[in-house]
Amino acid sequence: MIVKVAKVGVVVPVHNRLEITLRFLESFANVMYDNMEIIIVDDGSTDGTSEAVSRRFPKVKIIRGDGTLWWAGATNIGIKYALDQGADFILTINDDVIADQSFLSELVLQSQNNPDTILGSRIMKGSNPEIVYSVGGNRCFSGGTFFTLNRHNQNWSEAENLTEAIIPVDIVGGRGTLFPRKVFDLVGFFDAKNFPQHCADYDFVCRAKAAGFKVAVATESILEDHGPENAHPKGLAALFNMKSPQHWRTTWLFLQRWGPAGKRYWLFFRQIASCICQEYRTRIHHETK
């Protein structure tokens, strides 16, 4: 009997990070899985990303955007294409990670063993692969923080539950997360209107949980984080830059949808206040140098 290998659509939104994108594709070529299609959604890059990917990786599907899609819009386009091609699972992943060889096969195995579960990856630090970046996260809504990263900055060899294949968590992001096809049929897609860049992944997972899906991390599905340090704006700039996870509109809309009743205004104020304080400290530091 021939056993069908589940088809995975690997959706990678990119924009003007040519070298990072090529490094990702070179590393992902080592991932051992027999039935996947990599879909690069290039949202208006001006650095030759699409052309370089076409030359070096001709089997990769490239979908071009006009520069207005942001993360959520680009990811949605890639997901819809993959579903039209018959994908059983969708893997959302960013180009600033490097995957372990068995990364995808382990994700699919655990997803098949745990139906109706959204599975994230264990993400380690690229600067020190023994140190954890995150094993999913939890909503906390305390002070100016909405989420905590599980086991952040811990040594994995010293962490608990090392033998567990999957660990239930409250939340996972879109970087290295496997979604069963069914979730898009029941929940829809990422909310690109309200969360074009940040929080679209967290919002989607919250919606999926509300629809009855479980959320966990496959502990042996491993990625290394190679994202640039200090990539996000700081201080007052963080409030008004769409690339910032502290963008005021993103923060407010997420709190309105998922924040605890009675604390939303307070949490929003704390987020704003933290950016103002950071701006003040930065200016004082520069003035005293």
Is residue 176 within 8 A of residue 111, CB to CB? The reply is no
Of 86 and 140, the one with more pLDDT: 86
Q: Is residue 117 part of a domain?
A: yes
Can you give the CATH number for the domain in which 138 is found?
3.90.550.10
Q: Do residues 169 and 267 both lie within one domain?
A: no
Q: Do residues 61 and 201 both lie within one domain?
A: yes
Q: Do residues 253 and 188 both lie within one domain?
A: no
**Where would I find the H helices in the chain?**
18-28, 49-56, 70-84, 103-113, 181-187, 200-210, 236-240, 248-258, 264-288
Is residue 232 within 8 A of residue 220, CB to CB? The reply is no
Q: Do residues 170 and 272 both lie within one domain?
A: no
Would you state the pLDDT for residue 270? 84
Looking at every residue in the chain, the average pLDDT score rounds to 89
**Which helix (H) or strand (E) segment is 177 a member of?**
strand 177-180
Would you state the pLDDT for residue 161? 62
Tens of pLDDT, residues 193-228: 999 998 999 999 999 999 999 999 999 999 999 987
Which amino acid, one-letter code, is at 26? Answer: E
CA distance 196 to 179: 19
Query: Of the residues 174, 202, 225, which one is the last residue of a structural domain?
Result: 225
Is residue 72 within 8 A of residue 80, CB to CB? The reply is no
Of 279 and 88, the one with more pLDDT: 88
Residues 6 or more apart in contact with residue 165 via CB below 8 angstroms: 110, 113, 218, 219, 220
For the chain, what is the domain count?
A: 2
**Which helix (H) or strand (E) segment is 218 a member of?**
strand 214-225
Q: Do residues 40 and 180 both lie within one domain?
A: yes
Between the CA of residue 136 and those of 27, 133, 167, 264, what are the distances in Å? 23, 9, 9, 23
Q: pLDDT at residue 153 above 90?
A: no
Would you state the pLDDT for residue 2? 44
Q: Is residue 3 part of a domain?
A: no
Is residue 204 within 8 A of residue 193, CB to CB? The reply is no
Q: Do residues 221 and 240 both lie within one domain?
A: no
**Where would I find the H helices in 44-165?**
49-56, 70-84, 103-113
pLDDT range class, residue 182, cuts 50, 70, 90? very high
Q: Do residues 23 and 140 both lie within one domain?
A: yes
CA distance 219 to 143: 30
- Give the mean model confidence (pLDDT) for residues 176-200: 96
Q: Is residue 36 part of a domain?
A: yes
Q: Do residues 262 and 128 both lie within one domain?
A: no
Residues 6 or more apart in contact with residue 287 via CB below 8 angstroms: none
CA distance 73 to 137: 24
Q: Is residue 104 part of a domain?
A: yes
Q: Do residues 25 and 115 both lie within one domain?
A: yes
Q: Do residues 124 and 252 both lie within one domain?
A: no
Tens of pLDDT, residues 6-64: 999 999 999 999 999 999 999 999 999 999 999 999 999 999 999 999 999 999 999 99
Q: Do residues 130 and 190 both lie within one domain?
A: yes
pLDDT range class, residue 1, cuts 50, 70, 90? very low
Of 153 and 83, the one with more pLDDT: 83
Tell whether the torsion through CA atoms of 246, 252, 256 and 259 is positive or negative. Answer: positive
Q: pLDDT at residue 79 above 70?
A: yes
- Give the mean model confidence (pLDDT) for residues 84-102: 96
Containing structural domain, residue 44? 8-225
Q: Do residues 259 and 179 both lie within one domain?
A: no
